[in-house]
Structure 1
Amino acid sequence: MALGAGTLGAATSQAEPLKIGIIESLSGSQTSTGRLYARAVKYGVDRINAAGGFNGEPVQVTEYDNAGGASEAADKFRQAVADGVNIIIQGASSAIAGQLTEDVRKHNLRNPGKEMIFMNLGGEAMELTGDKCQFYHFRFTTTAPMRITALVNAMKKSDALGSKAYAINQNYSWGKDVQAAVEAAASEGGYEVVGEVLHDVNKIQDFAPFVARIKSAEPDTVFTGNWSNDLLLLMKATGDAGLDVTFATTFLDQPGNIANAGQTALGHYIANNYDNAATPTNEFPEAYKAATGAYPIFVEGHSTFALGQLQEALSTLDFKGGDINVTDIALALENSVYQSPLGPISVRKEDHQTIRPVVVSKVVKGAKYPADGTDMGFETVEVIPGEKAIYPVQDSCQMKRPNA
């Protein structure tokens, strides 16, 4: 066996493997989400390797635990550089995404010919494709305008939107983006924003005072980008107050939310990148379950599609076993189109925001794919095509291209 391994090493020593580093929240408060990202990435890489790998070698994947912090992510980025990683992937936190995209930008400026790509699977802050946009950053998820536009369009068609809306969000970049998107969509949606609030992130234990403010404003729909306990406690307080409103959410499918909210969640809406129920043939969720032991949930669907898009890009390149040219991979990603089960996903060259379908669903009983072991789950209301969900490139994005 030792001789065989040595012979194999000699035979493959001339081929340079593509190295991917997952710099994710694998411990701490965001562990559950970070693990989902990691599982989806590994599923996608396994598919690439099953198809022959890249550059004559299997694609290599290494996990780096950022423990949910930006400074820890910066440390892990330096380790990934030392390990020769070509592509870093991260999703759980816009703050960490902001740190990593800047780390990548600085590294690439200082190390021409040894560039790295950042595949952002979940950082949705507008600034990442705004004043922080850069050529080697690609966002493979939605943003607040895409989600809110989809919610407004689908809920209006379903006569579920009403004429008065309230926005309650967490007081940081993402929450502010959602609030701005709700305001911007008011004219198209035909509603008046009758109240807004930004609150501390995951520090509020009793949302009753906020619900009292919502009740006095008498909205039909409450828009919120809240996640984790801030979403759960807000919905529970609304249910306890007997307030009859429809929630328009972005993260209601986060594991545990449906189980914890119970009947309060019924009838509420979500806009997201993916929903198992929206797949026409169910082929993808069944294949994912066969490989991983579970159906894709929360962030796993769109993260798998990102790796599928990378595979599409790699299929157009041939480095003949020689050095990995990351700039060529980035250029191939720019021109890639991935045919996901929900529709095509492409990359807008001006800011590297993916143009992608957005799924609007609502919580019902007896769903085909129950959530959290309950009898409730998500029913697809509409799949908004990418070209209808996308928004104009932000003026603040002044992307500098290689050799430009």
Structure 2
Amino acid sequence: MAVTPPAGASASTSTSTSANANAPEPIRLAMIEGLSGPFANAGEAVFRNLLWAVERVNARGGVKLPGGARQLQLVRMDSKGNTEEALGQLRLATDQGIAYVLQGNSSATAAALIDALNKHNQRSPAQRALFLNYSAVEPALTNEKCSFWHFRFDAHADMRLNALTEVLQADSRLKKVYLIGQDYSFGQQVVKRSREMLQAKRPDIEVVGEELHPMGRVKDFLPYATKIRASGAQAVITGNWGNDLTLLVKAVRDLGLNVKFYTFYGNALGVPATIGDAGIGSVLAVAEWHPNAGGAASDRFVESFRTRFPDPKEDYLHARMQAIIEVLASSMERARSTEATAVARAMEQAVFDGKVLGGVHSGRMRAEDHQFLQPLYVSVMDRAGRDGVRFDAEGSGYGFRSVRRFDAAEVALPQSCKMQRPD
């Protein structure tokens, strides 16, 4: 049923299955994300994932608590892709007693939200809130900037790079690599750590270019593609996401360059359709799961999502965004409470076996730094219908097949968090 959105929020979505006016109040989850502006497509894609996860929890009765089962309600709050707007939405959420905030598209915004939430929880202990992060992957967020009130459900950038460079180092023909990223904390980290990992794993590889560009403001990546061509690079490593990735890949394709792309996010949001045949065997991506990971359970998982969102343009499914809602719901049930501190303590011990997803995904929360540890897949673009590519991406006719699967222990890296926990 639709409900009136809180003031300042773009919309509110409830998936309660009952219209009983006497039903317990829903548990509100505030998704603070760019739902307008240059990265709106990424924000809307996340919303569909979280909405589907919320709907499934509610369809089986909601969160079972001592006072009775309660539904989840996902509240859309538009940051417009701007950190100051995100902080304003956080204040709005906490002022209205929303205890669970979800965000991920931009590590810089995530860092600001963590800092603001730390201060809020110290100032207002009776209204504490948790921040659940689905894709802000700057490693510092669970290392030197770690917080008891923050939980990350995506592998951080160094973990993802560890997997990508393990695959890259096996390509003996590769001798020249170009590094490019968005000029903010995450993009800077990817470029820096890519250089370091290449030096450690393949010191014979030459880094022939290193570039940081404004985030979300470049409309024409041809000058960057021209530099890549002039450098003689055989491969590009990038953490770019959203339109910054799509436009970069398009510019390289338009120049006819035969280079490999080692990406974090090259398997969705327009990239496969943009690059077309040129991406076959050339665009690689890393994620906790992908639609062609294989097996009957994985296939059913994809088919169920596509039944819910049949428009090919809305085809963006990630297992971690399902896990975040499932782990939250089970942590509330173990804590027998929705109070943030109690739920956080339960979530620190969370082990997700993935049974509610048909066994598609699994992982565990590392209590020391609140980093979710999970397997990672590196996959490569290919034409749909070929071996290992049952499903395409966004109706493009191109999908991704597995190159290598890494167990969680293979890509989990040491942490340096010195967490301050509440009394």
Q: CA deviation at 1:118?
A: 0.5
CA distance in 1, matches of 2:287, 2:173: 17
Secondary structure (helix, strand or coil) at the match of 1:141 reads coil
**5+ long unaligned stretches in structure 2:** 1-18
CA RMSD of aligned residues (A): 2.5
Contact 1:161 1:221 (C-alpha < 8 Å) held by counterparts: no
Q: Is the 8 A contact 1:355 1:386 kept in 2?
A: yes
Secondary structure at 2:44's aligned position in 1?
Answer: helix
* Sequence identity (%): 30
Structure 2 counterpart of 1:344, which letter?
Answer: S
Does residue 232 of structure 1 match 2:238?
no
- Aligned partner of 2:62 in structure 1 is 53
Q: For 1:288 and 1:379, how far apart are their aligned partners in 2? A: 19
1-structure distance, mates of 2:188, 2:256: 27
Say whether residues 1:18 and 2:27 are aligned partners.
Answer: yes
Give the stretch that moved more between structures: 204-213 or 193-202: 204-213
The one-letter amino acid paired with 1:283 is R
Equivalent-residue separation in structure 2 for 1:228 and 1:37 (angstroms): 12
Residue by residue over 1:200-231, the C-alpha shift from the partner in whole angstroms, topping out at 9 and shown as x without a partner, is 33444554544454345434322111233433
Q: Secondary structure at the match of 1:248?
A: strand
- Give the letter aligned to residue 388 of structure 1: E
The one of 148, 156, 164 equivalent to 1:143 is 156
**Equivalent residue, structure 2, for 1:40:** 49
Aligned-pair CA distance for 1:180: 2.2
Between the aligned partners of 2:397 and 2:20, the Cα distance in structure 1 is 52
What is the letter of the counterpart of residue 62 of structure 1?
V
Alignment of 1:399 with 2:399, yes or no, is no
Name the counterpart of 2:14.
Answer: none
Equivalent position of 2:11 in the other structure: none
Alpha-carbon distance, 1:88 to partner:
0.9
- CA apart distance, 1:253: 2.2
- Checking the alignment, whether the CA contact within 8 Å between 2:179 and 2:194 is kept in structure 1 is yes
**Counterpart amino acid of residue 118 in structure 1:** F
Mapped contact 2:26–2:72 kept (Cα < 8 A): yes
Aligned length: 387
Conservation of the 8 A alpha-carbon contact between 2:35 and 2:79: yes
Q: Report if aligned partners of 1:312, 1:338 keep a CA contact under 8 Å in 2.
A: no
Match of 2:376 in 1: 358
Query: Residue 88 of structure 1 aligns with which residue?
Result: 101
Which segment is superposed worse, 77-86 or 336-345?
Answer: 336-345
Give the equivalent residue in structure 1 for 2:340.
326
SS in structure 2 opposite 1:43? Answer: helix
Change (3 A) 1:284 1:299: closer
Change in 2 beyond 3 A, CA 1:194/1:116: same
The letter of the residue matching 1:260 is T
Alignment CA distance shift 1:204-1:372 (3 Å)? same
Distance 1:236 1:36 in 2: 21
| Mapped contact 2:235–2:262 kept (Cα < 8 A) | yes
Displacement of 1:278 in angstroms is: 0.7
TM-score normalized by the length of structure 1: 0.87
Q: SS at 1:185's partner residue?
A: helix
Distance 1:360 1:342 in 2: 16
Q: What residue number does 1:277 align with?
A: 292
Query: Is 1:388 matched up with 2:410?
Result: yes
1:378 is matched with: 400
Q: State the one-letter code of the partner of 2:422.
A: P
Give CA-to-partner distance per residue, 1:82-118, whole Å, 9 cap, x none. 2211111112222322222122111110112321110
Does 2:167 match 1:167? no
| Cα separation, 1, equivalents of 2:204 and 2:408 | 24
User: 2:38–2:243: 8 Å Cα contact kept in structure 1?
Assistant: no
* Per-residue deviation, residues 243-272 of structure 1 (Å, max 9, x unmatched): 332111112123212212222322221112
The separation in 1 between residues aligned to 2:405 and 2:330, in whole angstroms, is 23
Contact 2:100 2:132 in 1 (8 A): yes
Offset of 1:329 from its aligned partner? 0.6
CA shift at 1:343, angstroms? Answer: 4.2
1:166-245 superposed matches below 5 A: 166-186=178-198, 187-189=200-202, 191-195=204-208, 196-245=210-259
Q: Deviations over 1:266-320 (max 9, x none)?
A: 222111233111142212212223334468844643211211222332332324x
Matched, 1:132 2:149: no
Taking a change above 3 Å as real, the CA distance of residues 81 and 246 of structure 1, as seen in their structure-2 partners, is: same
Instruction: Check whether the contact 2:49–2:322 (CA below 8 A) recurs between aligned residues.
Output: yes
**Deviates most, 355-364 or 207-216:** 207-216
Q: Secondary structure at the match of 2:403?
A: strand
Cα 1:234–1:75 shift into 2, 3 Å:
closer
Give 1:221's aligned amino acid. A
How high is the TM-score relative to the length of structure 2? 0.83
Q: 1:258 to 1:194 in 2, by over 3 A?
A: same
CA contact (8 A) 1:343 1:385 kept: no
**In the alignment, is the contact (CA less than 8 A) between 2:42 and 2:242 conserved in 1?**
no
Matched, 1:307 2:325: yes
Q: What CA distance in whole angstroms lies between the structure 2 residues aligned with 1:32 and 1:229? A: 9
2:365 to 344, 347, 354: 347
Counterpart code for 1:68: G
The answer to whether the aligner puts 1:368 opposite 2:386 as a matched pair is no
Measure the CA separation in 1 of the matches of 2:318 and 2:42: 9
Q: Would the aligned equivalents of 1:24 and 1:34 in 2 still touch at CA under 8 Å?
A: yes
Q: 1:161 to 1:339 in 2, by over 3 A?
A: farther
After superposition, the C-alpha distances for 1:320-349 in whole angstroms (9 at most, x for unaligned) are xxxx32111111111111124454211111
Whether the 8 Å contact between 1:342 and 1:383 is mirrored in structure 2 is no
Paired position in structure 2 for 1:286: 303
